[in-house]
Structure 1
């Protein structure tokens, strides 16, 4: 990319207006749309000491009465954003959710991008009005124009939900995490200075220095990869330990391994922690539209059971209960039965180029606690020819046997780590599936 001519550049610093122009110019070809007021438009605020830019924290500096930022910081953030690949069809639901867990005060950050977006959409009446803010004031998050990527969906003609591409969700999760670490580092530095320096030094500026910066002297420690430190721990015990949220945030996501972890994914049937994951992967891992005993199997299972199969199977089998019984939690097993085992039974039509029609749905009677009476029923919904019919009825034990055979063929390394010889210490009876009647839960699995 050719060098951009920048006005207002002094000593490696550029004023905020020039930084806006630089950011817009450098990211003009990015797959992720960016905002023109990344440094001067709401909610950017240079006086807090930093600006969020993509997945970066860029420190702000006050020189001669006006605020500036390091030019190299802007260029690094732009280069990283330009490298992001975004699939607009790979969406993550961002709200609204009926039961959103309140974050711990120590982990709260000013960005809180999900709350900001929900506040904009619900307060202004939807994305159309949010895009036409009073006075045309730009609204961005970490320099990203989220309004240009927001997707609204309506279910049952009554409930509106909002979605963003997964790549954008991961960017914003990363920005929120880095902001929290930046603030903790700045707070620790201030506390250390208050202890070691005489009180008079806090009020007297250094002679001959008219430059003030509130940025950190050095970047925070890098995230560490997750290597199974929490394996075998019960979520009910671990989640109550003080400071566990901060510890989780120190790992990279155990699934995508690219962004900071945010939550502990765990198995609700056996109660064991699987691994720390980011919000995006935690959303991907859940079944689509889970009801009390009914799942709609949509496109996300193409990734879970086709393109990224081995990786997800290894993740699910981090639960000792699922690994020992060589199976999956009932909703996932039901989804696998519909998506994989019953795939040859799915009808096709000439009008659609012989592509599978409709949407698969699987329901069950009974539970995994009573395997003899548990029956999975796979049906087709929304068939354009009206063929809303039952494809198959599979007993639970037969579904488990089919899954075990498929697992051995598809992921032999994962299958080799499973088996009945590892049943010691497991609960005598699995916990019941935690159902979400509304399909809106955030912590199903």
Structure 2
């Protein structure tokens, strides 16, 4: 390590300049690009007491002469956590712009709120001039601009996308900052607090490793245990304090990230569970229109690698669970991706054969009139222009196939389903909500 990095060490503390150099040095080989000057450039200088490095909070301390410093071990721990993150640059999540997004100003003293900061910086020079001087602020020490993907949206509108792993990391950083600030305020207000407010209580576990107390930034999230089961989203979403309550749970699907939204079934109106933004976006069908969706690669995860978790989550809706089915868009995607898999043609490719084009499924009618509902599975973008329609599957046949597949794939989920498992279901179904703008955040 260079002498420049080591300068300023005293009792395990290093100066902010040395911390900057150490951070860049330790994360040089990370899959997540990092920003420089995270300790010495804005907004670090304005945020008294701490700096965000990924989802890790590093506390500042004062030394002689008023010069600030940080614990070297905390910088190293944050770098190790960041270096362990793997990124799939093809697995993207849209991060803006969204209609009706918050217009609150973002300046140095505000919390992370990384989506608003990205929207501010990418909203054009005129918007940046209105909100500030247009400087680029580090987001939790991450060089997000190197990973940002811009796509052409509806008309002339651009859309911005980041890899899913980075979105989860920034969401976790935002949650860690919130926990940190709340812990500091609690200790400041408590007469029994004996430690400086800029650092959490620390101890050592049985193995001698240093740990942080539950009131610090790494506080464990509360697991979701069906507290909202059977409640209607239309009622619960209007109750004061619901958002704050949701933020206290871990995501009910991945169980690692902080929850951000209440996922609910739009066909029956029931709350499923609190989930993080990443899982909420992953669940959403691609290119959903009033009666047409495109079946993207994400369904490989939903119906293959993480099948049990997602089926259990969807069946948290009492209506879907009692009828042993899925919401119509998900059932349509399942029919195309699983039930009609053998019908999808392949073409020669450099390494064997490749599935033809992109699957698309549309339907006539709705789940409210099962006899008249028909699913049509087709292939778009076939190189030879063939294979337009692969199959037409009646809704009732699709649901029956799904029941059989569910019993084979997730027997525990299937055992909890069926009309004899729940009483008091609504007599009137809510129709599937169409989204033609592609800007919704909590669709299914």
What TM-score bracket applies, with the shorter chain setting the length?
A: 0.7 to 0.9
Task: Give, in whole Å, the separation in 2 of the partners of 1:101 and 1:65.
Answer: 38
- The 8 Å contact of residues 91 and 164 in structure 1, kept in 2 or not, is answered as yes
Distance 1:441 1:412, change over 3 A: same
Residues 214/423 of structure 1: CA separation in 2 closer, same or farther (3 Å cut):
closer
User: Which residues in structure 2 correspond to 1:405-424 (within 5 Å)?
Assistant: 405-424=404-423
Distance apart, 1:7 and its partner CA = 0.6
1:20 alignment partner in structure 2: 20
Q: 2 CA distance for matches of 1:282 and 1:47?
A: 31
Aligned counterparts of 2:422 and 2:244: Cα–Cα separation in 1? 32
Equivalent residue in structure 1 for 2:330, among 329, 332, 351: 332
Distance 1:432 1:413, change over 3 A: same
Q: What is the alpha-carbon distance in structure 1 between the residues aligned to residue 286 and residue 2 of structure 2? A: 46
Q: How does 1:366-385 map to 2 (within 5 A)?
A: 366-385=365-384
Give the length in aligned residue pairs. Answer: 419
Alpha-carbon distance change, 267 to 288 in structure 1, aligned in 2, over 3 angstroms: same
Matched, 1:238 2:239: no
CA displacement 1:386-430 (0-9 Å, x = unmatched)? 126111111111111111111111111111111110241111122
Contact 2:50 2:198 in 1 (8 A): yes
> How far off its partner does 1:48 sit?
2.4
**Structure 1: 5+ residue runs without aligned partners?**
198-210
Pair 300,321 (structure 1): closer, same or farther in 2 beyond 3 Å: same
Query: In structure 2, what is the Cα distance between the partners aligned to 1:399 and 1:324?
Result: 16
Aligned-residue CA RMSD (Å): 2.8
* Offset from partner CA, 1:249-295 (integer Å, 9 cap, x none): 12111111111111111111111111111110110011111111110
In 1, the alpha carbon distance for the partners of 2:315 and 2:240 equals: 27
For structure 2, the 5+ residue unaligned runs are 202-212
**1:322, 1:329 within 8 Å by CA — same for their partners in 2?**
yes
1:200 match: none
Aligned to 2:168: 170
> Counterparts of 1:236 and 1:22 in 2: how far apart (Å)?
50
For residue 145 of structure 2, give the secondary structure of its aligned residue in structure 1: helix
Partner of 1:202: none
Does the Cα contact within 8 Å between 1:382 and 1:388 map onto a contact in 2? no
Matching residue of 1:342? 340
Contact 1:376–1:394 (CA<8 Å) still a contact in 2? yes
- 1:33 corresponding residue in structure 2: 33
2 CA distance for matches of 1:18 and 1:167?
28
CA distance in 1, matches of 2:5, 2:358: 54
**C-alpha contact 1:61 1:212 (8 A) present in aligned 2:** no
Instruction: Give the drift of 1:47.
Output: 4.2
Pairwise CA distance, 1:125: 9.5
Q: How far off is 1:139 after superposition?
A: 4.0
Residue in 2 that maps onto 1:153: 151
> What TM-score results when the alignment is normalised by the length of structure 1?
0.87
* Structure-to-structure mapping, 1:290-439, within 5 angstroms: 290-351=288-349, 353-387=352-386, 389-439=388-438
Of 262, 265, 274, which aligns to 1:264? Answer: 262
Q: Which moved more, 1:170-179 or 1:113-122?
A: 113-122
Asked whether the 8 Å contact 1:62–1:212 carries over to 2, the reply is: no
SS at match of 1:354: strand
SS of residue matched to 2:267: coil
Q: In structure 2, do the counterparts of structure 1 residues 109 and 384 end up closer, same or farther at CA, with 3 Å as the change threshold?
A: farther
CA shift for structure 1 position 38: 1.7
Partners in 1 of 2:2 and 2:413 — Cα distance? 49
- Cα 1:237–1:424 shift into 2, 3 Å: same
Structure 2 partner of 1:70: 71
Deviation at 1:192, TM superposition (A): 3.8
C-alpha distance in 1, partners of 2:115/2:268? 30
**Distance (whole Å) between structure 2 residues aligned to residue 258 and residue 44 of structure 1:** 27
- Structure-2 change in CA distance of 1:41 and 1:4 (3 Å): closer
Q: In the superposition, relative to structure 1, how do residues 385 and 6 fare at CA in structure 2: closer, same or farther (>3 Å)?
A: same
Kept in 1, the 8 Å contact 2:188–2:197? The answer is: no
Query: 1 CA distance for matches of 2:439 and 2:136?
Result: 30
Return the alpha-carbon distance in structure 1 between the equivalents of residues 390 and 401 of structure 2. Answer: 17
- Specify the alignment match of 2:85 in structure 1: 84
Distance (whole Å) between structure 1 residues aligned to residue 110 and residue 321 of structure 2: 37
| CA distance in structure 1 between the partners assigned to 2:187 and 2:199 by the alignment | 11
Per the normalisation by structure 2, the TM-score is: 0.87
Q: Which residue of 1 aligns with 2:61?
A: 61
1:137-286 mapped onto 2 (5 Å cutoff): 139-155=137-153, 158-192=156-190, 214-217=198-201, 219-220=215-216, 221-286=219-284
Quote how far apart the aligned CAs of 1:84 are.
1.5
SS in 1 for 2:367: coil
User: RCO (CA 8 Å, sep 6+): is it higher in 1 or 2?
Assistant: 1
Shift of 1:11: 2.3
User: Does the C-alpha gap of structure 1 residues 97 and 138 become closer, same or farther in structure 2, counting only changes over 3 Å?
Assistant: closer
Q: Distance in 1 between matches of 2:399 and 2:365?
A: 15
